[in-house]
């Protein structure tokens, strides 16, 4: 997607959103705004998929609520339990610290706000340099829980209200 930009342009808008659900950055999927940070978001999803051995679109049950891979990763990160995310086929005791670092980098890439995401050159530096201190990730995009039993409700609810004032002359 970043190849679409002209010259030194670093963001743009589109009326037609095309992409694979689960890999598109929130600002692109919901508002048609894309930037080089949109590609960083997609890369972060790929990192988390590789480490977990699960697709982003496969859901994890959590007390009758569902989380995407991003939500599940974020939940485990906040519980300081990211080892539960790691695919057992790729983990060995000697590589756990490195894999935890990859999860950390993946979460930095999928942060909800593009301004908080690192650039791809910074991501490459993080991946290749273990001495590089990683910042604390912020809340990722697309992590809200949804209840399966309420996801197909037939009734519509709204919290909007309208006040109409009619002014008449004397």
Residue 96 domain boundaries: 2-147
- How many domains does the chain fold into? 1
pLDDT, tens digit (0-9, with 9 covering 90-100), for 66-98? 678 888 899 999 999 999 999 988 867 778 889
pLDDT confidence of residue 95: 84
Residue 86: inside a domain:
yes
- CATH at 73: 1.10.510.10
Residue 140: inside a domain:
yes
User: CA 103 from chain center: how many Å?
Assistant: 12
Residue 160: inside a domain:
no
Residue 155: inside a domain:
no
Listed residue (8, 32, 6, 7) closest to 19, CA to CA: 32
Residue 166: inside a domain:
no
Residue 97: inside a domain:
yes
User: With 60 as the cut, is the pLDDT of residue 154 above it?
Assistant: no
Residue 57: inside a domain:
yes
Residue 152: inside a domain:
no
22: left (phi over 0), alpha (psi -120 to 50) or beta: left
Average pLDDT in the chain: 74
Burial (CB < 10 A; 0-12, 13-18, 19+), residue 137, is buried
């Amino acid at each position: 997607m970043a190849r679409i930009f002209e010259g030194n342009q670093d963001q743009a808008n589109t009326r037609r959103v095309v992409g694979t659900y689960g890999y598109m950055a929130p600002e692109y999927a919901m508002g048609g705004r894309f930037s080089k940070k949109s590609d960083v978001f997609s890369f972060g999803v790929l990192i988390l998929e590789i480490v977990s051995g699960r697709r982003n679109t496969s859901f994890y049950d959590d007390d009758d609520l569902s989380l995407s891979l991003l939500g599940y990763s974020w939940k485990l990160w906040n519980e300081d339990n990211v080892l539960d995310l790691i695919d057992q086929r790729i983990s060995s005791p000697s590589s756990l610290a490195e894999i935890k670092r990859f999860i950390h980098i993946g979460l930095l890439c999928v942060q909800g706000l593009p301004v908080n995401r690192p650039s791809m050159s910074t991501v490459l530096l993080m991946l290749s340099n273990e001495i590089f201190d990683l910042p604390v990730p912020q809340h990722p995009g697309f992590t809200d829980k949804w209840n399966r039993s309420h996801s197909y409700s037939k009734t519509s609810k709204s919290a909007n209200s309208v006040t109409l004032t009619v002014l008449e002359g004397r």
